[in-house]
Amino acid sequence: FVGGAAGVVIRLAFFLKRGMHSGMFVAVETIEDGASLAAVALLFITGLYVVLANGAGNGLRWDVIGLVIAGALALAGLVIFLLRRRALVERLAETLAQAVNRVIAKFAHRNLYDEHRVRGGVADFYRGLELAQTDPQRVFVSFCCSLARLSCDAIALYFAYRAIGYPVAPGNVLLIFIVSTSVATLAAVPGQIGVMETTLSFMSTALGVPFPVAVSASLLFRVISFWLPIPFGYAFAWNLQRKDWI
């Protein structure tokens, strides 16, 4: 129920309470992000194929689609480049830890940086990736969960259109959602606020949806999928904190 950076912090606090090392947690998040990227790619190809097969590709903004593809490939290439250079990852982790420590030290008035802990975290990270390679079935389960989550979001967008009385092809909705969520992710805006709504409306109108309908459906979808679960998420987070689980 709590997504984005806040969700990562809550998950980190929960698993650290149960003895998981921070490096292992980063490995888990990296694997989950990789599975999500693979699921996004599959749904993107599916949506594009359906739209082109139905002869509705004339309204596509190929510049936006090209940006999504280029951004995804660049991101995947950067991750692969870094993962294959452990020494560089260690230096980046140390630099980041020192920068965070300088900020915290201004308020806590103490030094929290520990080089051995940082290097140990990197070692745990690579150990987690090695363990994942020995059990690909569980990585596949993560991929299936990511695929189901994204598919449910696309279905929610489809029914948002239907709720306001506008018939739209499922393939168009799938392409609108995947391109929009990819652009919003690459924009790195907290909660994708503003970017997601704008891109959803932009892609919808590019595929022939009237602008007022596109804006209404996009806002309805975001209220249901993003804003509505937030109070429940923070209520659960408060309950976890009350039980000293985070």
Local confidence band at 186 (pLDDT 50, 70, 90 cut-offs): low
Which letter does DSSP use for residue 227 in this model? I
Give the closest residue to 27 by CA, choosing from 106, 127, 108, 143. Answer: 127
Q: What is the dihedral of CA 108, 113, 117, 122, to 10 degrees?
A: 110
The residues spanned by each domain of the chain are 4-136+144-242
pLDDT higher at 54 or 37: 37
Please list the helix, strand and coil fractions of the chain in percent, rounded to the nearest 5, in that order.
Answer: 85, 0, 15
What percent of the chain lies above the pLDDT cut of 70?
91
How many residues are there in the chain? 246
Name the DSSP letter for residue 167. Answer: -
Lowest mean pLDDT among 39-48, 161-170, 179-188, 210-219: 179-188
Cβ atoms < 10 Å from Cβ of 70: 11
**Alpha helices in 164-207, H assignment, sequence order:** 170-187, 195-206
Dihedral sign computed on CA atoms, order 38, 9, 179, 146: positive
The predicted structure's pLDDT at residue 197: 85
Q: Rounded distance, CA 205 to CA 82, Å?
A: 38
pLDDT single digits (tens) 85-124: 999 999 998 898 888 878 877 776 777 778 888 888 889 9
pLDDT-derived band at 156 (thresholds 50, 70, 90) equals very high
Give residue-wise pLDDT tens across range 7-48.
777 888 888 888 888 888 888 888 888 888 888 888 888 888
